[in-house]
Amino acid sequence: MRNGLLLIALFGISGIGELGAEEKYKAKVLTKTGEFTSGIEGPAADNQGNVYAVNFGAQGTIGFVDGEGKGKLAHRLPEDSVGNGIRFDKRGNMFIADYPKHNVLRVDAKSGKLTVFAHEPKMNQPNDLAIDAKGNLYASDPNWGASTGQIWRISSQGAVTRLAADMGTTNGIEVSPDGKKLYVNESVQRNVWQFDLSKNGEISNKQLLRKFDDFGFDGMRCDVKGNLYITRHGKGTVVILNPEGVLLQEIDVLGKHPTNLAFGGSDGKTVFVTEAEKTRIVTFRVEHAGATWSKNYAN
């Protein structure tokens, strides 16, 4: 709480321990219901409390929301394109998964020009995106009708490589802070997988990190301690797992259908969650900054 009267003590494992004089892990509403469509996704945040998310006012758009919750149109995507996951690289270039057109789009940080960065017709639909320290992107690629999925790498130069096929319904995807693990969840099968990730962006040694018995998954992000934040679609929560898969915390996000999340704010410790049931963004404060958060660029 902002009056500084309350100290919250949590589990004390994997870096989530004694908290400061501020209420954390409790969601509050940032934007009004209805400003985004039910396709609200993304999101990507900067260090000023601003956040970008897709489908602002209409499908095929990207909205910009400031720290006070005021939104405006930032980009209109090409005809028939619809965005899903968003990530920024270290130079501030924005990448958007365009699922109907099997593209990854790029918005140049300096000019604002939007181009097709990568196109792969063998994709079902590029869905969520992760990024490593070299600027390589990783895309989940679900086939919802068949309950199957794939994983793709898109190099910093736009070259597309399929890393895995014959998976379940791949959705959330993230790289560990040390760059040595790639996490992917399967929404229908309720599995969270981890792979070893090589310096060349190859994956191996697939292992089950955790399986859940109910509800689905959507987007995922890591904090700097390696804890994995996962949206629980249908349950209306974000769960936090430590690197060993132990559940540390579960946060109610004030709506049943959280789609994705991002770390931002002046210290990287504000989590922004896109929530589709009430078509809005909610936020909560956490103890540790996001793994890719930086003072110099959006996340």
In the structure, how many helices (H) and strands (E) does the chain have? 0, 26
- Nearest CA to 149 out of 161, 162, 166, 137 is that of 166
Q: CA 187, CA 144: separation in Å to the nearest integer?
A: 9
For the chain, first and last CA: distance in Å?
26
pLDDT (tens digit per residue) in 179-236: 999 999 999 999 999 999 999 999 999 999 999 999 999 999 999 999 999 999 999 9
Q: pTM of the entire structure?
A: 0.91
- Nearest CA to 290 out of 96, 63, 43 is that of 43
Q: CA 82, CA 244: separation in Å to the nearest integer?
A: 35
Query: Topology of 9-285 in CATH?
Result: Neuraminidase (2.120.10)
pLDDT (tens digit per residue) in 134-176: 999 999 999 999 999 999 999 999 999 999 999 999 999 999 9
**In this structure, are residues 97 and 128 in contact, taking their beta carbons and an 8 Å threshold?**
yes
> What tokens appear for 114 in the block?
């939007």
Half-sphere exposure of 176 (CA within 13 A, CB side): 21
